[in-house]
Amino acid sequence: MSQAVQDGKDSWRGCCIFCDNNLTADTRREHVLLNALGGRKTTITADCSHCNETFGSSIDRTMADEVKNLRNLFQMKSGDGALPPALNNILSSQGPINFKPDGAPHQKRRPFVVTKKGSYVEVIFNVSSFEELLRYVPHAAAQVGISEDVLWDRLESERGTLETRYPGEIQFTLECKQIDSQRSMVKSCMVLLATTTSNDQLKGPAFAAVRDFIFRKNETIGRGRINKDGRLMPKISYDYLKDNYGPLFNLIYVKSDSKGRTIAYFRLYNIYTWQFVLSEADGPKNAEIALASNPLDNEVWNADVAREISLSFDWLDSPNNTGSSETCKRQLEMAFKFYADRARSQICKNIVRETLEKHYSDGDRIEMDKRGEVAVNEISTKIMLSMLQIPRNEEIFISRPFSDSHEPG
């Protein structure tokens, strides 16, 4: 499915569902499920550009900020394909750690230290990659008062040490509890409903309380109309979503009965779940629409998944938060088991690739000769140390980058 998908309506329909601004062909596209959550479906027939921008800089930003730890941990790209946000000053047993957008941990430290001992100057680099060394050599040379070429000459005469360390226990905040995040979720439910329901109806009195909650932060609506839901989903529907949209699937489900009572069900990363009463009565009658997505693969989503997993209105209208802590704990354990299994697999693949690249050139045949035995033993040792999280050191030779004036080392 394409990123920008219109909602099947052939003409622009009047006003924004949240204010009185007209919708036009130039209206800014709204992500139904937030872009930060991997949402790909967009619409221009729900809210105006002004409301879109207002939500984006307020409640949607809060929502995105609350899930950034999970996004980085599981490497969840946004709907438009952007990498997860970096994380800074995350507490670990080894001190504060930063996580780059690609999920790589990076311990906070000075990239280089210059120490003068009489006429002798010592430069120690603490970098995590050759690219980072390239970035800081000019700064170190300037601080010492020598040219980059002279510093590279000195570096090439020395051996470096490649140290592999592990951050140990990491303290993440994995909660999604701010009222603004709930407002953002309710807004997404309303926008999804707008793709199949008249804007005039959504602007009517039946949805006034919800609109007020989204726009004006009227928290009194939360009493009885915004509920955490600790229940397990019906097994058939749950298994279908997990099999087709991954173990951390997202789901927005909106359904109404014959009297227009309209219920929304929001399941985030298959961990946190809320039920929202969008209208007590007089909403659209017998409406049903659902959107599911795989945040681990943002190209896998479906805005018509209600055809596959139809949930009964009575079930949707009966939230129960009893035991929600235990349910959430089980879901988190499932998520982190998935993370650990995937991380171990990726670590092993990286070790095999890096070791083979060290010992073989492209096109070389890999055999169990002396060179092959060395490579296999090195792979086995590195994998064992990685699984046990035992630090390891390797000596490396530093070579300046290729340039017009220097041949590669």
pLDDT confidence of residue 340: 82
H helix or E strand, kind and range, residue 288: strand 288-293
Which run of H or E residues covers position 98? strand 97-99
Which residues of the chain have a pLDDT value below 70?
A: 1-13, 168, 171-175, 217, 219-220, 222-223, 402-409
From residue 336, give the alpha-carbon distance in Å to each of 16, 140, 250, 348, 372. 41, 41, 17, 18, 35
| Paired residues of 393 in beta bridges | 163
Write phi, then psi, for 175 (nearest 5 degrees). Answer: -110, 155
Q: Which residue in 347, 333, 357 sits closest to 270, CA to CA?
A: 333
User: What is d(CA 310, CA 29) in angstroms, rounded to the nearest whole number?
Assistant: 28
Alpha carbon distance 341, 109 (integer Å): 30
CA distances from 33 to 15, 233, 338 (A): 21, 20, 24
Q: Is-contact 84 71, C-beta < 8 A?
A: yes
HSE-up (13 A, CA, CB side) for residue 258: 0
Closest CA to 289 of 303, 274, 273: 303
> Are the C-beta atoms of 195 and 8 separated by less than 8 Å?
yes
Measured in degrees and rounded to the nearest 5, phi and psi for residue 194 equal: -65, -20
pLDDT value, residue 339: 80
Please state whether 120 falls in left (phi above 0), alpha (psi between -120 and 50) or beta: beta
Rounded CA-CA distance 53/31 in Å is 12
Distance of CA 12 to the CA centre of its chain: 33
pLDDT, residue 158, reads: 77
- Within 13 Å and on the Cβ side, how many CA atoms surround 293? 29
Phi, psi at 297, each rounded to 5° = -150, 95
DSSP 3-state assignment of 404? coil
In order of 107, 388, 391, the CA distances from 168 in angstroms are 12, 11, 11
pTM score above 0.85: no
State the greatest distance between any 2 C-alpha atoms of the chain, in Å, as a whole number.
Answer: 88
